[in-house]
Structure 1
Amino acid sequence: MEELILIGGGGHCKSVIDVIREQGRYNIIGIVDPMIAVGEFVLDVKVLGNDSLLPDLASRFKNFHITVGQIGSSPIRNKIANQMISLGAKFPNIISPKAHISRYANLGVGSVIMHNVTINADATIGDFTILNNHSLIEHDVKIGNFCHISTGAIVNGNVTIENDVFIGSGSVVVQGAKIPSHYFLKANQIYK
């Protein structure tokens, strides 16, 4: 199994740990989080320390995943990604075995594809994006970097979602819509 360090220890981290355990590909070495005491645990994963450890960890480990959640904008996730990329870190995608990803879909790096997500043909998912449980990404959708498609959201065909967009739980994005960068779509809304 490959070794993996998680950055961020909140609620989103717990969900990602669950997907990693189901995936069975990575041994989680620990979590970096400035708000949780060293030696504490998030589920069964030990907190190693705060962000000051990142340069040392990047010199010893290659795989990282950003487990800071994203509601609204994503400047913290973006800052962490840029810092770690400059240190030579790699960001594999974390993909639930319960997700369906078309063989014709394209994925960037550092994203998490949660349980029961569907990504259909010719969809493109950017870097560091969260596709939360039961989200549906239809054919020919283009999703940018640092987006979060929340639980149960439906993104219909030929939609373009630019960078740093949050799509709330249960929302529907209508066929062919274009969502600009930094947009926040509340839960259960329809975007045309």
Structure 2
Amino acid sequence: MAADLATTPLLATRVLPRGGGLAPALLTRAPALVLDWAQRQRSRFEATDTLGRRVGVVLPRGTVLRGSDALVLTNGDLLRVEAAPEPLLRVTPCPQHGTPGDLLRAAYHLGNRHVALQIAADHLQLERDHVLADMLRGLHLDVTEVEAPFEPETGAYGHHGSTHRHGHGHDHEHDPIASVDNGHRHAP
């Protein structure tokens, strides 16, 4: 019987986006599941936490995990989700003659190809692909191979749930058809 308990995985069935308001110290002490982007897009999988325990993850279909999320186990324990470093391309404007607007053009071309893309003010990151790297270099951008956590955009409708924080002081429900909310416009 003790052997059965040792091989039975723990079960995570709930996610707290960005830690769900839990104290940072509580999350820092929690064991972690270190997962790459492909794993974090799945709603059902098994992994091993940083304590060496098997964990079964069963979440609602379509759930995407992010680094800094917390998983709640059925026994009440918490697990931190960490984005694992993976092989990526980092794209930056050419320092000699480029502009930050060059990144916008690159994002447009990559979006037309439905490429998973992490967007920052000064760089883009995407999974390594030599064809895309050559295309980006042809747009006069610097392309560097890096090992880093990957947190790509999930699209306008791909967030954790229906409540979304904009960072300007309020939470609200998003209706993808709504065009006006609290004085600012959202594209339909």
TM-score (norm 2): 0.25
Larger radius of gyration: 2
Whose strand fraction is larger, Structure 1's or Structure 2's?
2
Higher helix residue share = 2
Task: State TM-score, norm by structure 1.
Answer: 0.25
Structure with the larger RCO, 1 or 2 (CA within 8 Å, 6+ apart): 2
